[in-house]
Amino acid sequence: MRISLCAALAIIACLAAAALTPARAHEIVGNRFFPATLAIDDPGVNDELAFPTASWFKTGDDPSVKQRDISAEFSKRITEDFAISFSPTYSKIHAPGGPAMTGANGFQNLETTFKYRLYKNPEHEFVMSVGLNIEWGGSGAQDVGAERFSTYTPTLYFGKGFGDLPVAWVRPFAVTGQLGYAIPGSNSTTTFNPDSGDLDTEFHPRVLVWGGSLQYSLPYLKSAVVDLGLPDFVNRLIPIVEASLQTPVSNTITSGTVTTGTINPGVIYVADKYQIGVEAIVPINRQSGTGVGAIAQLHLFLDDIFPNSIGRPIFPGTLAGGRP
């Protein structure tokens, strides 16, 4: 019974982790400040620390279970355009229908992302980056779904502000997006099922990891379109909607091909050296979860807090510090 519970929790946690990969970077491109997004990663390459990112949601398993995650991400620029980030996540999963203190808890597999900014156009508020995310197999606890194999996800990121459009009220809008292809290091896992006495084989699909954000920047409205004289607190808000989706595309014998994910409406408050984001987590279908969850994040801009030490690239550009 214990084995089957652990296995169930592992599958649940795995699905949940796939739906809520911790992310984030911020980026300034001309007039545009792209905030660090909470549900998806964005094109930013910077020195920053997202800590903590706390989320509460109910998984898509049947029966659904409550899961709470606390994660962090530390991103360090090696050069002006290249950064490496490390992201641990601690999960607490409640047993289905059980008391609050039962279930499982532990770290998910450690994630590392290598990201390189390919192109940046301040005039058109456009930026594009490429990255490789590695989930290190075996570095987390199996009880919370951490796999024994690694997963490699090459990803393309982009951000585009609408500041070059002629209609004034549209110009504060911006979009960001990501498109990745998750390749598991193992095609399948075979386990003994104590209930049936059989060997169960779970195939690990290759998954299209995709998503985007639509954001309306009140800081942009104030500094580049029209200063309406709104309170400073309001002028620092960026209402945002994120979509974080996964679609299995091959080796889908046991996983199926149903797209799962969440839509996250929320708001981000941007201060000079940090930002705070809060979003609802709305599953797109039953397989993605039940009910509405929530995610909140404190994100520190290390390049602004420690501009002359850990907030600068290890190998800076030509201008002292060479920052954007």
Partner 1 sequence: MILRPLIFAAALALLPAAAQAHAMLDRAMPPVGSTVASSPKEIVLSFTEPVEPAFSSIEVRSEAGAAMQAGKASVGAKRTQLRVALKALPPGSYKVIWRVLSVDTHRTQGDFTFHVGP
Chain contacts with partner 1 (rule: CB under 8 A): 28, 30-31, 33, 49, 51-52, 54, 70, 122, 168, 219, 222-227, 272-274, 298, 300-301, 303-308, 319-324
Q: Please state the closest distance from residue 122 (CB atom) to partner 1, in A.
A: 6
Closer of 204 and 222 to partner 1 (Cβ): 222
Q: Please state the closest distance from residue 224 (CB atom) to partner 1, in A.
A: 5
Q: Please state the closest distance from residue 229 (CB atom) to partner 1, in A.
A: 8
Distance CA 297, CA 75 (A): 15
Closer of 185 and 307 to partner 1 (Cβ): 307
The secondary structure of 71-110 as a DSSP string is: EEEEEEESBSSEEEEEE-EEEEEEPTT--TT-EEEEEPPP
What three-state secondary structure class fits 19? helix
Closer of 207 and 270 to partner 1 (Cβ): 270
Closer of 30 and 131 to partner 1 (Cβ): 30
Closer of 70 and 110 to partner 1 (Cβ): 70
Which residue reads 């193992």 in tokens?
186
Token digits for 215? 């954001």
CA distances from 152 to 85, 106, 184, 209 (A): 15, 22, 6, 11
Q: Please state the closest distance from residue 80 (CB atom) to partner 1, in A.
A: 11
Q: Please state the closest distance from residue 50 (CB atom) to partner 1, in A.
A: 9
Torsion of CA 255, 104, 89, 54, to 10 degrees: 100
